[in-house]
Amino acid sequence: MPKDGLDPDGEAPPARRASARAGLRAAWLGLGLLVAGLGAVWLYATTLPPLDLAAAAARSTVVLDRSGTLLRPFATPDGRWRLPVTAEGVDPRFQAMLLAYEDRRFARHPGIDPAALLRAAGQWLTRGRIVSGGSTLSMQVARLVEPRRERSLGAKLRQMVRAVTLERRLGKPGMLDLYLALAPYGGPLEGVRAASLAYFGREPARLTAAQAALLVALPQAPEARRPDRFPDRARAARDRVLDRASARGVLTMAEAEAAKAEPVPMGRKPFPMLAAHAAEEAVAADPANPAIRLAIDGALQARLEALAAERAAAAGPDLSAAILVLDNRDGRILAQVGSAGYLDASRRGAIDMTLAIRSPGSALKPFVYAMAFEDGLAHPETLLEDRPTRFSANYAPENFDLTFQGTITARRALQLSLNVPAVALMEAVGPARFIARLRATGAGIQLPREAAPGLPVALGGLGITLTDLARLYAGFSRGGTLPDLQRRAEAAAPGPGHRIAGPVASWYVADILRGTPPPENALPNRIAYKTGTSYGYRDAWAAGFDRRVTVAVWAGRPDGAAVPGLVGRIVAAPILFDAFARLGGEPEPVPRPADTLMAGSGSLPPPLQRLGRDAAGAPGPSLRIAYPPDGARIDLGLTPGGHEGAAGASGLALKALGGVPPLTWLIDGQPVAQSLRHRAEWFPQGAGFARISVLDSTGASDSVAVRLE
């Protein structure tokens, strides 16, 4: 018998040769069909318009805190929640489940999976219906990028072409990121991050096995499986994902069974809304920026929002509260609580009370004292009179408790927030100068009907925002220099450095306010603070600071209605002290300047022992500084009338006209010379700004500011 089926001549039988030729022709035909198919696909691809990813690139604007934690997201213009996300921000176990369930060969195929397509085609031919679509994750992305309603072979072919195009353009990591951002999850939710926040109230970086499985299952039928509407369907779909994950080694069987016992969320959770006012204002100021990072500390913001809501609820109906926290070093806004609840309509929570102009009551008194200290009109131990006093024909202020303390030091008068001494100092400083000084710092001061400044501004007869008040108070911890507010996390260039007072005067105020009696159940001598209550009990204020931070608090009704019993010390001060407690760490006192004058009332120079209004002696000619002139720039190396002083420093001649000798000269509130003549000399220690003041024996004074170069 011939071996190997050959005939005796060693040739294959004719039938076998014919079969081989037929097989070869079939192979060539298949190859030709494949080439023709590929050519047809290529020709089809050339007819498609360029792929536009602009719509797919649209994301919800997000506002983040200083560390990148989400404070508040905003919906896209078409009302969808599509938050920015990449694979680095998603739980790796979710990604493993996704690929195990949707596309095991994702890492190896070019966008289409021939094996999956053949399997889908075979199922269709044998069963007469579509059992699986054979779509890869890349094809699903193509459908999301370029959505089409029809389900046809043409639409499928288009997806295949687009999938290959996208893979070549973005690579595997880009394709995965696009799926994570665009996958539908029911209603307006798109992307795994929005879904994780809406259904679980957490970022997708860490998910339980059950949560990950549910997020894998939902995009296949996002409306039919929505857990907030169809929890049973959602559970069944989730469990199928868990079974497949277990079968393919992503989870153990025990892990899958434990995950099935976890309940499915029955509703949607609200998106984060921390610092809602600050976020809204930031987006309005920079609408084209998709991700805005604020200087706010998200954890601190959450604690203070809870504090404001709790205290406002305890204070009474319709009341709101606002809290602002500044970093004294650089002016960064660490927390901005604009109301007791952004969504609380009964308290008008949508109004940002950190930016509302309200009357500050006594909260501005420290700045009157600071100017008086700087001008050399007073010292913390200067004696003031707290007695019934008429400052003009129709202005005779009274204290809050309708009593008077008699003769008292400036220190104690400010700590007790007495009105008559504050008005007396305002009279000496000058209301117009006081308002000009505040406005020169950039504070938005509003006077009633644009009236000329009068003595009542010492007691709150003007309007100011909580934000401006906090910035002014921060100046006391910085030697009188105000910080420029920094709302963004990115460092900004420093501003011109406006001053509210000199270093010595600022420290005097800080030291006095640190001794202010604390509210009930609070520890004394921890923070420097001052309260204020506006006329008619409409606004309660408290502002406090240490070396590190400044905290300002407002409480009241946003509509400005009076609230009986709304007093700064009773309502706002406890919030202030609780806010400091929630900051963490021990308060640090403001350091004392080296050249501070520490003396008792009897040891002060005579003009500083008692405020000039009550000083004995007949007034002489009007006292004024003749040299240097106000605003002068002085060269230390060559000053008119000066000479070389000790250690090579230049002496500066000081000249006055009028007044009743002896004259006392002060630099930044510290006495430097006393003379029976109208001339003196001062030896500056270096360049910079200085305020030069002179007082005569009656308490009359004048002051100028100069720049030494």
Active site amino acids: 102, 362
- Rounded CA gap, 17 and 11, in Å? 9
Instruction: Give me the half-sphere count of Cα atoms (radius 13 Å) on the Cβ side of residue 649.
Output: 13
- Rounded CA gap, 603 and 605, in Å? 7
What tokens does 85 get?
A: 């996300």
How far does CA 309 lie from the centroid of its chain? 19
Q: Is 348 exposed, middle or buried (0-12, 13-18, 19+ CB in 10 A)?
A: middle
Rounded to 5°, angle at Cα 340 from 339 and 341: 90
What tokens does 139 get?
A: 């094809």
How distant, in Å, are the alpha carbons of 411, 621, 684 from that of 701? Answer: 21, 12, 21
What 3-state DSSP class applies to 375?
Answer: coil
- Rounded CA gap, 575 and 303, in Å? 12
Residues 378, 438 contacting (CB under 8 angstroms): no
Q: Dmax of the chain from CA atoms? A: 152
What tokens does 93 get?
A: 């176990």
> Comparing C-alpha atoms, which of 620, 606, 612 is closest to residue 659?
620
Q: Which residues of 59-84 are buried (b: 16+ CB within 10 A; e: fewer)?
A: bbbbbbbbeebbbbbbebeeebbbbb
Helices (H), 60-150: 92-102, 114-127, 137-145
DSSP letter for each residue of 543-609 = EEE-SSEEEEEEEE-TT----TT--IIIIIHHHHHHHHHHH-S---PPPPPTT-----GGGS-HHHH
Residues 366, 530 contacting (CB under 8 angstroms): yes
